[in-house]
Amino acid sequence: MKPLTDPEIRAAFVNCSKGEAKRLHIPRDLAERPWDDLDYFGWRDPQAPDRAYLATVVDGRALALTLRRPATAAWQTRRGMCSICLTPHSGGVALMVAPRAGKAGKAGNSVGTYLCEDLACPLYVRGKKDVGSDRMHESLTVEEKVARMMANLDDFVGRVLTGEA
């Protein structure tokens, strides 16, 4: 993924207002991120633990989503698998909900999926970040895993954009 700048990311949000995009938290260390290993850039808001954001490139154009993690009770923390990168975690997967783009989102409609809580799917797929004993053995190449992850992400982004259930 090509490195994105703060203004590029803010302009890329499709499921929030321009005012919200202007106020949301974007990490200051963008230049230090491992862009060569990222297929999308995801981050959590340190001031609002229930908020997360995701920026990617779709058809050559930057696109970003706001996500929210509904509150979960302590008993709900259990082993799970990310729906995007298919990495299993013990307590490291959370339901992330994105308001739909356009009128549907303004009406309160949203789409959810299970994601790695730290939004580091590209690093897990490449083996750059370890999940410990939860790792599954797969016979797919890294390139095939990346393609599968991006197909899953494209599906989720498509549901946010088109308003499909």
* Those residues with Cβ within 8 angstroms of residue 41's Cβ, 6 or more apart along the chain or in another chain: 1, 4, 9, 33, 35, 54, 55, 56
pLDDT digit string, tens, across residues 87-138 = 888 778 889 999 999 888 888 899 999 999 999 999 999 988 887 766 677 8
| Statement: residue 139 has pLDDT above 80 | yes
Tokens 């298919």 belong to which residue? 86
Rounded to 5 degrees, what angle do the CA atoms 122, 90, 51 make? Answer: 60
Phi, psi of 56 (to 5 degrees): -145, 180
pTM: 0.87
**Residue range 76-95: average pLDDT?**
82
Question: Domain map of the chain by residue range?
Answer: 6-162
- Give the whole-number percent of the chain exceeding pLDDT 70: 91
